[in-house]
Chains A and B, each alone.
Chain A
Amino acid sequence: MTHSDLGVRLAPWLYTAALLILWEAAVRVFGIPAFFLPPPTVIAEAFVEFWGPIYRNSLFTLSTTLLGFGMAVGFGLLLGLLVGWSRSIYAGLYPMMIGFNAIPKVAVVPILVLWFGIGFIPAVLTAFLISFFPIVVNVATGLATMEPELEDVLKALGASKLDIMRKVGIPRTLPYFFGSLKIAITLAFVGSVISESIASNHGIGNLMLQAQAQFKVPLIFAGLVALAIEGIVMYWLMAILESSMTGWAQRSGFAQN
């Protein structure tokens, strides 16, 4: 391991530590009250004090998020391939999808709750609704950016449209697809937490709402930290998945070392 490798490995920890120290110092120097912005040490105390509820609710949020995300992956991949398959499907579905994506999910949750009740299902569906769009767009873009010359050559060699899709189109969209997963997983967390904070008895969103009603600001921040940790871990898993599945596609030297 070279010197600069070590630097890169330590960088996330050093930067995070620097942020926390700055934060702690700013709160103490300026005498900011804890109900406005609690310092990291106070948040850590809340984290320890309420570890049980934070742990339980984190698991709930993680499960709704992952389920919604899983649905988004399946549905997004299928729809993306469908949209990328033909120009007319693309033209027909795209405006609808954009319109759908533009709808604020906060406004959708009450409707979902009226249909499915509160708690688990609306959280899963909101996570799904908010995260499938980037997957569809990326998969469709991957197919759409296939060079027509390549397609022509393959056709001339006797390949059917399905062959081209299977042998060239899908592999080619994979880097786009796995790239979109990183965006989609973080969005999925946003979706499930929105839903939990509107109508649920469980989950980090509900925990933060209860904490707010009890004026426990450090606990609200502890909830945010729990969410951030879950988000980082899932993002990191997606990044590993990406590099192990499509490492062949990453040949550029940018942002790699």
Chain B
Amino acid sequence: MRRALRAAAVRFEAIGLVLVLACLAGPASAQQAIKFSLDWKFEGPAAPFIVAIDKGYFKAEGLDVTIDTAPGSLEPLNRVAPGTYDMGIGDINSLIKFRDANPSAPIRAVFMFYNKPAFSVVARKSLAVTKPKDLEGRKLGAPAADGAYAQWPIFVQANGIDATKVTIENIGFPLREPMLQKGEVAAITGFSFSSFINLKSMGVPVDDIVVMLMADYGVNLYGNAVFVNPRFAADKPEAVKGFLRALVRGLKDTVKTPDTAVESVLKRNDVVTKPVELERLRMAINDNILTSEVKADGYGSVNMDRLAKSIDQIALTYAFKNGKPKAADIFDPSFLPPAADRKAE
């Protein structure tokens, strides 16, 4: 009898202990969910985000992050503005225009991903296009929702192209490179690491491909940045900070060992191959992510002067309805980890 009582008491204590533990663990295990929209498919350059998931960096920050793909660098804005997605990555220049078109949705960028934008015009020597002026009298294949095409007016102005002489063919992303390969269009707009690598893997000889990186042709803009839904940023600033801390870790791992980082991408995309995605990722790191500015200032931050100048350049071809925005209103550095933690090794 006594033994039975004692057993019952022990059992009772055990239940109590479990309850206490559950209560203690409760707040810690209640992870903050974040829906994140990529700017493109699961391909090489998405590795830093996915590595942060696979290595549990987000989880360590108490975040339960889901990452979805998107068709182009403009679409994430449409997703993050209404809060369908909490955060996303997309073209910061389109964000500036979006803000002007929709003043009621003050989305801000919080982390610069492509310090030097990958926006480019890609052509082929064999189709007699090697410089911007050659585009006159030719057809340019450009998806309407393409981040590179969004900068076309600036490219036109900076290079003195007579835009009335260029026929813009609106074609979807899947058709872009095939049509250039076939010679149906003389050039296309696209991200350098997308269009160049796609053409190369389709068998177009490398020495035939001309990549005019807009940044090398007078287009002085920033590239794709991580941005946040304004309500989410106000309600959960710690979650945004945690997200960026984890992203920096994922980014550092990716830059250090792209070879293993790209495996995370391959796991989520059955139709890509490792050599192609690795080359794409390396190209993005070397040309667009690890710039001299990033080497000096660390990952994620922007130079406010440079951002302000880019807004000035946008204003040359885009009429702001609500006045030219201030750089500080577009990019909010307050969620970034301290500079020492963001250093690019």
* A residues at B contact (CB < 8 Å): 33-36, 109-110, 113-114, 117-118, 197-201, 206, 209-210, 212-217
B175 and A110: CB pair below 8 A?
Answer: yes
- B66 proximal to A (CB < 8 A): no
B175 and A34: CB pair below 8 A?
Answer: no
Q: How far is the CB of A66 from chain B (nearest CB, A)?
A: 22
A201 and B102: CB pair below 8 A?
Answer: no
Cβ contacts under 8 Å, A209 to chain B:
144-145, 170
A36 and B178: CB pair below 8 A?
Answer: no
Cβ contacts under 8 Å, B172 to chain A:
109-110, 197-199
A198 and B78: CB pair below 8 A?
Answer: no
A113 and B179: CB pair below 8 A?
Answer: yes
A34 and B144: CB pair below 8 A?
Answer: no
Cβ contacts under 8 Å, B168 to chain A:
201
Interface residues on B, range: 20 to 34
Cβ contacts under 8 Å, A35 to chain B:
78, 81-82, 101-102, 104-105
- B87 proximal to A (CB < 8 A): no
Complexed CA–CA distance, A212 and B81 (Å): 13
Complexed CA–CA distance, A117 and B170 (Å): 11
B101 and A214: CB pair below 8 A?
Answer: yes
How many Cβ-Cβ contacts under 8 Å join chain A to chain B? 76
Given contacts A33-B105, A118-B171, are A213 and B74 in contact (CB under 8 A)?
yes
A198 and B74: CB pair below 8 A?
Answer: no
A206 and B170: CB pair below 8 A?
Answer: yes
- B97 proximal to A (CB < 8 A): yes
Q: Which of B86-142 contact A (CB under 8 A)?
A: 94, 97-98, 101-102, 104-105
Cβ contacts under 8 Å, B101 to chain A:
35, 214-216
Most buried by B among A36, A198, A215: A215
Residue of A nearest to B72 (CB): A213
- Known A-B contacts: A213-B74, A215-B77. Give 9 more (CB < 8 A): A33-B82, A33-B102, A35-B82, A110-B178, A118-B170, A201-B169, A206-B144, A212-B78, A212-B144
Complexed CA–CA distance, A209 and B184 (Å): 22
A200 and B105: CB pair below 8 A?
Answer: no
Residue of A nearest to B97 (CB): A215
B78 and A215: CB pair below 8 A?
Answer: yes
Q: How far is the CB of A142 from chain B (nearest CB, A)?
A: 38
- B336 proximal to A (CB < 8 A): no
Complexed CA–CA distance, A199 and B168 (Å): 11
Cβ contacts under 8 Å, A198 to chain B:
171-172, 174-175
Given contacts A118-B169, A215-B97, A215-B101, are A199 and B144 in contact (CB under 8 A)?
no
B149-176 near A? 1/0 per residue, CB < 8 Å: 1100000000000000000111110110
Given contacts A35-B102, A213-B145, are A113 and B78 in contact (CB under 8 A)?
no
- B6 proximal to A (CB < 8 A): no
Residue of B nearest to A36 (CB): B82
Complexed CA–CA distance, A169 and B169 (Å): 48
Q: How far is the CB of B23 from chain A (nearest CB, A)?
A: 37
Complexed CA–CA distance, A35 and B102 (Å): 7
Q: Which of B44-93 contact A (CB under 8 A)?
A: 74-75, 77-78, 81-82
